[in-house]
Amino acid sequence: MGYCFLFLILIFAVILFISAKHKKFSKKHKIIVCSLSAIAVLSIVVYQLDFDKKSVQNREKINSFNQGKTLMCGEYVVNSEKFSFYGGTNSFVAKESEKTLKGVILKLEDCQIEQ
């Protein structure tokens, strides 16, 4: 994901350079293009930082679950004895052997590592 971020910044830098050198653009247009480029780059940076933070948190939750630790997902106590983790959907699904939890599916984002 980091390479995608760098690629987009490079594209915006090229656009900014071309627009600054282009003689047909008025000063007002150049300012508008530069401002929009800066806003776009800032938005990408904020998104990337938030995405990275959530990814680290999710990785910590998954690692804790795989190490046999307990997670709290709302009112449910999630551990490897009662739930299975499915990476494709980033969710915990109650095992069939747990009759009281039949059909329970919990999103990884809604869980916290129990201390």
Torsion of CA 115, 89, 87, 59, to 10 degrees: -40
Structure confidence at residue 115 (pLDDT): 75
Residue type, 86: Y
Q: What confidence tens digit (pLDDT) does each residue in 82-113 have?
A: 999 999 999 999 999 988 999 999 999 999 99
- Average of per-residue pLDDT across 70-82: 93
Average pLDDT of the residues in 1-16: 70
What strands lie across the sheet with 83-86, from one edge to the other?
83-86, 91-94, 105-107
The secondary element (H helix, E strand) that includes residue 44 is helix 27-66
Predicted confidence (pLDDT) at residue 1 exceeds the cutoff of 60? no
Give the separation between CA 90 and CA 87, rounded to whole angstroms.
Answer: 5
Q: Quote the Cα angle for 102-114-106, to 5°.
A: 30
pLDDT value of position 5: 67
15-50 pLDDT, tens digit per residue, is 767 766 666 777 787 788 778 878 887 888 888 889
Torsion of CA 99, 105, 109, 113, to 10 degrees: 10
Kindly tell me if the per-residue pLDDT of 9 is higher than 60.
yes
